[in-house]
Amino acid sequence: MAKRKVKKNPWVVAVLNFLFYGAGYLYAGKKKALGWGLIAVFIVMSIEFFLGNISHINDPINTHSISMTLLAFVLAYDGYKMVKEK
């Protein structure tokens, strides 16, 4: 039996990504590596927020250095993968 392709609702994707970074990509079944990476960034950002300034000693503007570095790696990997697949 052939699988029927279910059309995903773009509004659900948008709302999921707005509320929980990356969840919309996973729902859509697209860019799964980016989706999981963004979820990891969201979790790290949440930990940093709730535990306080554990990753940015003497950082007056509170840049969340661990989560922002992780985000940079996630986006770099996604960009690399996107161009490599073309």
Tens digit of each residue's pLDDT (9 = 90 or more) over 30-47: 889 899 999 998 888 888
Please state the pTM of the whole predicted model: 0.69
Is residue 45 included in any domain, yes or no? yes
In 10 A of CB 37, how many CB atoms?
Answer: 21
Question: Within its chain, how far is the Cα of 59 from the centroid?
Answer: 24
Is residue 42 included in any domain, yes or no? yes
How confident is the model at residue 46, as a pLDDT? Answer: 83
Is residue 1 included in any domain, yes or no? no
Is residue 14 included in any domain, yes or no? yes
Is residue 5 included in any domain, yes or no? no
Close Cβ partners of 48 (under 8 Å, ≥ 6 residues apart):
54, 55, 64, 66, 67
Domain total of the chain: 1
What's 1's DSSP letter?
-
Residues of the chain with pLDDT under 50: none
Domain residues for the domain of 80 are 10-85
Is residue 43 included in any domain, yes or no? yes
